[in-house]
Chains A and B, each alone.
Chain A
Amino acid sequence: MIIIGEKISIIAKKVREALMSHDPKPLQELAVAQAKAGAHFIDVSIGPAEENGPELMDWAVKVVQEVVQKPICLDTTNIKAMEAGLKAHNNQWGAPIINSTSNEPERFPMMELAGKHNAKIIALTLGKGSIPADAEDRCVIASEIMARGMEFGVPMENIFLDPLILQICTMQDQGKQAIRAVKMFQELNDPPMQTVVGLSNISNGAPKAVRAIINRNFLSMLLYEGLSAAIIDPLDKDMMDTVKTVEMILGKTMYAHSYLDM
Chain B
Amino acid sequence: MALTIPKETYSGKIYNVQLGSGAKAVTIGGASALPFLSFEGTFPNRPAVALEVADIAPDDWPETLKKAIGGVSANPVQWAKFCQEQGADIVALRLIGTHPDQQNKSPEEAAKVAADVAAAIDIPLVILGSGHAEKDTQVLQAVATATRGKNCAIGKAVEENYKTVAAAAMANDHKLIAMSQLDVNLAKQLNILLSQMGFDKERIIMDPMSSALGYGLEYTYSVMERIRQAALLQNDPMMQTPIVCDIGANVWKVKETMAPDAEAPEWGGLEDRARAWEVITASGMLAAGADLLIMRHPGAMAKTKELISELM
Contacts and interface: CB of A to CB of B under 8 A. Distances in A.
Interface in A212-262: 252-258, 261-262
Nearest to A255: B185
Interface in B206-251: 226, 230, 234, 236-239
B211 to A, nearest CB: 22
A256 B234 CA distance: 14
A257 to B, nearest CB: 5
Interface stretch (B149-157, B186-194, B258-266): B186-194
Interface residues of B, number: 15
Nearest to A257: B189
Contacts of A258: 189, 192-193, 196
A183 B270 CA distance: 61
Contacts of A261: 192, 196
Interface residues of A, number: 9
Nearest to B190: A256
A252 B192 contact: no
A256 B189 contact: yes
A253 B193 contact: no
Interface string A143-182: 0000000000000000000000000000000000000000
Main secondary structure of the interface of A (DSSP, over half): loop
B185 A262 contact: no
A256 B237 CA distance: 13
B184 interface: yes
A174 B232 CA distance: 39
A254 B234 CA distance: 9
Contact of A253 (B189, B192, B196, B234): B234
Nearest to B186: A256
Contacts of B184: 254
Contacts of A256: 185-186, 188-189, 192, 238
A261 B195 CA distance: 11
A141 to B, nearest CB: 32
Contacts of B238: 256, 262
B185 A253 contact: no
Contacts of A257: 185, 189
A243 to B, nearest CB: 15
A262 B239 contact: no
Interface in B160-195: 184-186, 188-189, 192-193
B277 to A, nearest CB: 32
A257 B239 CA distance: 14
Contacts of B193: 258
Given A253-B236, A256-B186, A258-B193, 13 more contacts: A252-B234, A254-B188, A254-B234, A254-B239, A255-B185, A256-B185, A256-B189, A257-B189, A258-B192, A261-B192, A261-B196, A262-B237, A262-B238
23 contacts: A252-B234, A253-B234, A253-B236, A254-B185, A254-B226, A254-B230, A254-B234, A254-B236, A255-B185, A255-B188, A256-B186, A256-B188, A256-B189, A256-B192, A256-B238, A257-B185, A257-B189, A258-B192, A258-B193, A258-B196, A261-B192, A261-B196, A262-B192
Interface of A: 252-258, 261-262
- Give the 7 A-B residue pairs with the shortest CB-CB distance, closest first: A256-B188, A256-B189, A258-B192, A254-B230, A255-B185, A257-B189, A256-B185
